[in-house]
Structure 1
Amino acid sequence: MEQPHVIVHPLPVQGHIKPMLCLAQLLSEAGLYTTFLITHHAQKRMANFPALTTQFPNIHFEFISDGFPDDHPRDVNSGFFSDIKIKTKPHFKQFLLSLKKKSENGFSPPVTCIIADGYVVYSFEVAEELRLPTFTFVSHGACFLQAYHSIPLLIQQCHLPFRDDNINYQIQCVPGLEGLLRRKNLPPVCLLNLEADNPSFQEHLKDILGMKRSSGVIINTFNDLEVQCLPHVATHFQKFYTVGPLHAFLNSKIGNDSHLVASHASLWKAEKKCIAWLDSQPLRSVLYVSFGTLARRSISQLLEFWHGLVDSGHRFLWVVRPDVILEEEGENVIIPEQLQVGAKENGYIVDWAPQEQVLAHNAVGGFLTHCGWNSILESIIARIPMICWPHTNDQNINTDLVCKVLKIGIELEAFNRSSVKSTVETLMGSKRKALQKSVDKFANCAQDGIGHGGSSNHNLEMLVTDIKKIKTEELKVHL
């Protein structure tokens, strides 16, 4: 019997590439022929890509054009994430057709199925056209996924569009999200407050809800983390596999070098000198600060943060990339000296840091984060409490989950220097013990889940079994 062949295809941004690469390696370890398909542009940005192919020799790395010119900014403000549906689709289809010829000539097994990022909608359209089974990968948490799939219910019950401008209004009708769903926590398309029959709204809804047609949904979470929501969101899909935290799962298979996945697959070169700086700091004395890869902040906001961090008196390691600075009216994007050198005594500022290594360092005692899903999982595994300052997408509902339900972090209520100062003092001081106890509990649950007999481990085994059950001879088109 031929070896099952799985194509793993992420959205070409850092927060989606990393977890899907971890999944690809786990599938390869389980005996599947695994192809990891990324865009040429993403591959070119990976400074350490050759090392990645050496580290994972059993993964077959392949590349396609994303359909955009080389000088396209490919950011949230450029239309990139909506335009890929049209521009990347023909290149993806051509790649699959080229694999048909390779398999016919004996160079690779026929494709068994595609595991595609839920945001690369074109992959599902092409797979349906070629009658290939698909699985959907979800890089955010189950709560945000349930929020998406509650949109038809919210329209039916007249919660959408909003009847007033109270963005903190609590919505109580969604199963599994009781106490978690405020208007501000809904997916961004809802915040546009469009009428339900608006073509743009309907198209977006069609794309997201289309994942119901896939053979199953694979999600980077674990059962104990979202216990309130998971039983409800799972009902939307044929199969539902909780397999996270994927970075820790991979670490359990290949040892303590799993952080190399992040460094080699990173679209930015990390400043390794910050680890040497951490080596010289006292135990649990440093607050790590990073707002992820997509959110943009103004210079005035960043300076308020800088003053708040310095005024707190606590040591801090802060990631500030020049390309995330938002230009304000009448303001030149010139990085102030404070953000270039930090506080001479207590601060260290870098363009990019090896986040997993930083969080695992014994000098780090807290994490001020935008509350992206990967950062939450990495913080839990490292047993580090969080300060949450959400920006967009899933980050708002993640913040309420972290602070109100899991109680492993506190929210930064405002971005002025006094609020930053007091919140840092609270996390690193008076609330430290209680938050640490909670985060330790969930870290233990996560480790149990990826261990032998754990829920994530079992679900990965079920996923592999289900893929192996797909018989290529039953497909009407062999690729």
Structure 2
Amino acid sequence: MADQEQQVQPSHVVMLPYIAQGHIKPLLCLAQLLSQSGLYITFLNTHHNHKRFANLQALSKNFPNLHFDSISDGLPDDHPRPSFDLDYFLGINVATKPHFKDLLLSYRSNSSHHSVCRPPPPVTCIIADGVLSFPVEVAEELEIPIFSFCSHTARYLWEYYTIAKLIGKENNEEEEINPMPGFDLGCEDLPGFDMEILDQSPSLQVLIDGSLAMQRTSGLIINTIDDLEASSLPHIVPRFRKVYTVAPLHALLNSRLGDRSHVIASDGSLWNADQDCMTWLDSQPLRSVLYVSFGSLVKLSHSQLVEFLHGLVLSGYPFLWVIRQDVLFDDDTDGVIEKEYQVGPKEKGYIVDWAPQEQVLTHHAVGGFLTHCGWNSILESIMARVPLICWPNWGDQCINSACVVKLWRIGVQLDAIDGSSIQSTINTLMGNRRDEFQRSVDRIAKLAEDGISEGGASHKNIETLVNDIKKIKI
């Protein structure tokens, strides 16, 4: 009888994202998709992020097979966690490893404090963010199959497998460094690492370690679109036992949720979205509003914030601007938004701490998106058919921006942070080149839509992933 009960137990997948919002959201979308397919999912966060999740009850209600648990990030609960603390971000691999291992062992012994009364089924496999190398080490120690999840593009991942070729390579006026094979871009589009100290960069080493650890897993799940990365994927695929391209995950999920998608989209966010901005958007003309958001980590100086504000007002277009409470480098500038905002008519702009971005981008009033070029934001903008103004800061944002501007031609880059340049760039996107960018983004969106439709690559790869997990013997 016990053997029969074990046979009918669902496959149990433990999913572990990196600690940043931009990594949590796509993996949570994947968790929801897998839970809909009958898999038992435990989604792990740090204790700190678990407490910040916007609406876990709603997620659990809509996805009965989706459960939540948390582990320590190595810091006391009352310890401050700045929005971008490099030592904290880089230290996660070391600080969290023992807690992750202990949790998996507790599942094995049925001694965990899981979010449901009954103990979870035995762990079938792990899906962990590829930025983290320690889950691979723990999975190998405990002999649990593990898949890597990549929240960024194949181009960005390919960079870390080939960047060693750039270390120590001299670049002089007579010899131009050629683009990397499969990259489609020039070396000027690589993230802003100083080539002279590239091999000594701790952040780069963490990314390289994670990328190399990925290759020891059962497969790579990557939130990208085949047709947009046809040059890079052939270089990635041979390095893995299996590769599942599944983007855009948010759109794939929404296609299966139907009318529930807008209700669920913001659940699981680390910020509470201001829904009142949707009413303001209702009052604005078709494609007239510029949406502005620099994601969950980018910070601005006081002067940059003021220049952005001046440029937005001078452009004449209404704007919806996300300004997080922790967006400024200088903590002594409370109230600067309210003071500086007197430069323009308030009816032309709406400022929020956080917005329901998927809903905003799909609103008929939004005609452009000024963004830091995080991969989630680009995918959401493509699916909403909204052209972009790119202001990349670090990491994959530089490559993403180059793809938007040079390869896909669905936006423009902001080259200078002054009111006049910002005004001019907005007018280019929203005014004299609007139709050009709209045609391009419509074409790219069609490729993405084909991928998530029945028979499309992303649609089939999710089904293949589910079947592969169900075949795992424990």
Equivalents in 2 of 1:262, 1:125: separation in Å?
Answer: 33
Query: Cα RMSD over matched residues?
Result: 2.4
Aligned-pair distance for 1:464?
A: 1.6
Aligned-pair distance for 1:195?
A: 6.1
Matching residue of 2:228: 225
* 1:197-216 alignment, distance < 5 Å: 205-216=208-219
Counterpart residue type for residue 129 of structure 1:
E
Matching residue of 2:73: 66
Aligned-pair distance for 1:66?
A: 1.5
Equivalents in 2 of 1:153, 1:52: separation in Å?
Answer: 45
Does residue 129 of the first structure (1) align with residue 137 of the second (2)?
A: no
Contact 1:137 1:218 in 2 (8 A): yes
Aligned-pair distance for 1:333?
A: 5.2
Does residue 88 of the first structure (1) align with residue 91 of the second (2)?
A: no
Contact 2:221 2:246 in 1 (8 A): yes
Contact 1:18 1:262 in 2 (8 A): no
Does residue 323 of the first structure (1) align with residue 326 of the second (2)?
A: yes
**1:215-246 residue CA offsets vs partner (Å, 9 max, x unmatched):** 11111111112222222222222211100100
Aligned-pair distance for 1:197?
A: 7.4
**What is the DSSP-based 3-state SS (H/G/I as helix, E as strand, rest coil) of the residue aligned with 2:432?**
coil
* CA 1:5–1:363: 2 relative to 1, 3 Å: same
Matching residue of 1:182: 187
Aligned-pair distance for 1:445?
A: 1.3
- Greater shift in the superposed pair: 350-359 or 95-104: 95-104
Contact 1:137 1:219 in 2 (8 A): yes
Aligned-pair distance for 1:75?
A: 3.3
Matching residue of 1:337: 338
Counterpart residue type for residue 323 of structure 1:
D
**What is the DSSP-based 3-state SS (H/G/I as helix, E as strand, rest coil) of the residue aligned with 1:221?**
coil
Equivalents in 2 of 1:362, 1:354: separation in Å?
Answer: 15
* CA 1:103–1:457: 2 relative to 1, 3 Å: farther
* CA 1:449–1:198: 2 relative to 1, 3 Å: closer
Aligned-pair distance for 1:263?
A: 1.5
* CA 1:197–1:446: 2 relative to 1, 3 Å: closer
Contact 1:184 1:191 in 2 (8 A): no
* CA 1:28–1:405: 2 relative to 1, 3 Å: same
* CA 1:111–1:44: 2 relative to 1, 3 Å: same
Counterpart residue type for residue 63 of structure 1:
S
Equivalents in 2 of 1:284, 1:218: separation in Å?
Answer: 35
* CA 1:192–1:100: 2 relative to 1, 3 Å: farther
Aligned-pair distance for 1:255?
A: 0.9
**1:71-94 residue CA offsets vs partner (Å, 9 max, x unmatched):** 231532251111111111111111
Matching residue of 2:35: 28
Contact 1:142 1:233 in 2 (8 A): yes
Contact 2:38 2:65 in 1 (8 A): no
* 1:391-430 alignment, distance < 5 Å: 391-430=393-432
* CA 1:460–1:171: 2 relative to 1, 3 Å: farther
- Greater shift in the superposed pair: 339-348 or 49-58: 339-348
* CA 1:261–1:394: 2 relative to 1, 3 Å: farther
Matching residue of 2:269: 266
**1:414-433 residue CA offsets vs partner (Å, 9 max, x unmatched):** 11111100110010111110
- Structure 2 gap ranges (5+): 1-6
Equivalents in 2 of 1:339, 1:290: separation in Å?
Answer: 18
Aligned-pair distance for 1:366?
A: 0.4
Counterpart residue type for residue 213 of structure 1:
R
* 1:129-168 alignment, distance < 5 Å: 129-155=141-167, 158-159=168-169, 163=171
Equivalents in 1 of 2:24, 2:290: separation in Å?
Answer: 26
* CA 1:449–1:171: 2 relative to 1, 3 Å: farther
Contact 1:339 1:349 in 2 (8 A): no
- Structure 1 gap ranges (5+): 473-479
* CA 1:446–1:345: 2 relative to 1, 3 Å: same
Aligned-pair distance for 1:183?
A: 4.2
Percentage of matched positions with identical amino acids: 53
Aligned-pair distance for 1:334?
A: 4.6
Matching residue of 2:3: none
Matching residue of 1:362: 364
**What is the DSSP-based 3-state SS (H/G/I as helix, E as strand, rest coil) of the residue aligned with 1:255?**
helix
Contact 1:407 1:435 in 2 (8 A): yes
- Greater shift in the superposed pair: 226-235 or 429-438: 226-235
Matching residue of 2:4: none
Equivalents in 2 of 1:79, 1:387: separation in Å?
Answer: 31
Contact 1:222 1:449 in 2 (8 A): yes
